[in-house]
Amino acid sequence: MRQRMTIGRRAVLVLALALATLSLWQLEAARGGLDIKTLTAGQTPVTRAAAPGSDGPLVVVAHGFAGSRQMMQGYALPLAQAGYRVWSFDFHGHGRNPQPMRGDVSVIEGTTMRLVDQTLAVVAAAREAEGWTGPVAILGHSMATDIIIRAAAVEPGIGSIVAISAFSQAVTRDFPDDLLLISGQAEARLRAFALDTLWMIDPAAIEGQIVTAETIRRAAIVAPGVEHVGVLFSRTGQRAALDWLDASYDRPSNVTPAATGGWLAVLLTALTVLVWPLSRLLPQQEMPLAALSRGHFVLAVLVPAVLAPGLAVLVGFALGGNLLPVLVADHLAVHLLIYGLLQLAILWRAGLRPGPLSPAAAAFLVVWGLAVFGLALDRYGANFLPTSQRLWIIVALALGAVPFMLADALITGAGQGTWGRRILARFGFLVSLGIAVALNPSELFFLALIAPVILLFYVIYGLMGRWIAQRSGPAAAGLGLGLALAWALGVSFPLFSAAG
C-alpha cells in the first residue's frame, strides 16, 4: 500500500532537491572552463586538468593511503584554474588502478620504493606529453608525502614540493630545497613534524613563517578547523599551495579556490535526506517486531562482539589468509559473517524475524545508495566505482555483509529503536574490530583504518536504511545495506599482493 506524502515530507523533498541542484551547480562551476581528461601513464590512471591551451608549469598530484585522484580535486582544480597543467594519478592498488600494491610494507626498499618508481614514471610521462622542460612541482597528501619527497631525492627535475599532512624521514636540513607543509589544525603530531623541518633551518621558526637559508625555502601552514581528511578541502591550504607555487615559478594568479568541501557536504546531505520523503513511494509492509528485552539486547551486542574476533582470526589461520587481494578483506568478510550469524541467532531466539522481503524497497536502497549517492561521491569526492578486479571481492564481502546488516536492521528495531540502542549496537561492532586488532596486530592493524569507513556508513547509509526499514521492513533494509556495505568496503581499501 502506498500513501501520499504529507505536506512536511513534500517540503523536505522540494528543499533537498533545491539544495542538491545548487550544490551541483557550485561543484560544476569549480570545474568550469577546464579541459579535464582521463589518461594513462603506462597502466597508471591519470586525470589531466588544465585551462584550454594552457602552457603553464606542470604539477603532479598524489593522494594518500586508501585515497584516490578524486580526493585531491580541492587542490588540483584551483591550480588548473590558475594556469598550471595538473596530472593527478592513482597509486597502485588505489582508486581505479588495476595493479595491486606489492612488496614489503615494513621496509623502505619494499612497497615505498615501488610507489616512488611509479611516481617518477608519471612525472616522466607528464613531462613528455606536455613538452615541459622546467622543474616539475609535486603535491601529495599523507602517505604520498613520503613518496614524493623520496622521488625528489632521485629526480633532480622535481622542483617545488607541497606536502599535506606530511611525515617523512627523508627530510634533512639540506633537502628538500623548496618545501611547503600544510597540516590540519587537529593534526598535532603532523604539525609537530612540520615545525621540526623548519627548526632544522631556524630553531626559532613558527607556523606560518617562511624560513630560508642559502637555497632552502620552507614553510609550515596550519589549515584551521580541519583534520586529516578535512585538510583536503581547506581553502586556507589550497590558497597557500597556490601562492607557494606561484612564488616558486615567479608567476601571478588571482584564483580564489571554490568552497568545494562545503558544497560536497551539502550535496551528499541532500541526497541522503531525499530518501526520507521518497521512501513513502515504496510499498508499505506492516511488520510489528517482538519487543527485545534488555537482557536479550545485551546478549545480542556482547556475544558477537566478544566471540566473532577470535573465531574470525582462527578461521583466517585455518584458511591461510590472503585469499582476497585487498588488505584485511579476508578477515573482514569472515568477521562480518560470524558476527551477523551470531547476532541473528540470538535475535531469532528472542522472537525477532526479518519478515517478508520487499524487492522494490531493497532495489531502491541499492540503486540510490550506489548509483545516485555513490556516483556523486565518485565525481566530486572519492573513488566509488570498482575496477573489474574488485567485483568478485565485493561479492565475497557481501556474503558476510548481508547477514551482518540484516541483524543490524533487527537489533535496531527496523528503524523504530531508540537512539541509545542504535548507538550501542553499532559501537559493539567497532569494539569487535578493536579486539581483532589486539589479537593479531601484525596482520590486522589496517582494520583500525576501516573503523572510520564503518562509522560514516552507519551515519549516512544507516540513516537511509532506517527510513526504508520503517516503511518496508528490516529484510529490505538489511539486504540493501548489506550490498551497499560490501560495495563501499570493496572500493575503499587498496588491492595488495605480497608477492614480489
Burial of residue 208 (number of CB atoms within 10 Å: 0-12, 13-18, 19+): exposed
Domain boundaries, the chain: 33-259, 274-497
Say what percent of the chain tops pLDDT 90. Answer: 81
pLDDT in tens, 355-365: 899 999 999 99
Confidence of residue 61 (pLDDT cuts 50, 70, 90): very high
Averaged pLDDT for residues 391-395: 92
And the C-alpha cell for 480? Answer: 540493501
> Distance between CA atoms of 332 and 61, rounded to whole angstroms?
31
Averaged pLDDT for residues 153-174: 96
* Confidence check: pLDDT of 28 > 80: yes
Averaged pLDDT for residues 357-381: 96
* Confidence check: pLDDT of 287 > 70: no
* Confidence check: pLDDT of 320 > 70: no
Domain 33-259: assigned CATH number: 3.40.50.1820
Confidence of residue 2 (pLDDT cuts 50, 70, 90): low
Peptide bond between residue 494 and the one before it cis (omega within 30 degrees of 0): no
66 dihedral zone (left: phi>0; alpha: psi -120 to 50; beta)? left
Using an 8 Å Cβ cutoff, are 158 and 123 in contact? yes
**How confident is the model at residue 103, as a pLDDT?**
81
**How confident is the model at residue 80, as a pLDDT?**
98
Average pLDDT, the chain: 93
pLDDT in tens, 48-59: 999 999 999 999
HSE (side-chain half, CA atoms, 13 Å) at 329: 28
Query: Which range, of 86-90, 102-106, 165-169, 386-390, averages the lowest pLDDT?
Result: 102-106
> Distance between CA atoms of 338 and 353, rounded to whole angstroms?
18
Report the chain's C-alpha Rg in angstroms.
24
* Confidence check: pLDDT of 134 > 70: yes
The alpha helices in 175-222, defined as continuous H runs, are 188-199
pLDDT in tens, 65-93: 999 999 999 999 999 999 999 999 999 99
Averaged pLDDT for residues 456-479: 94
pLDDT in tens, 261-275: 999 999 999 999 999
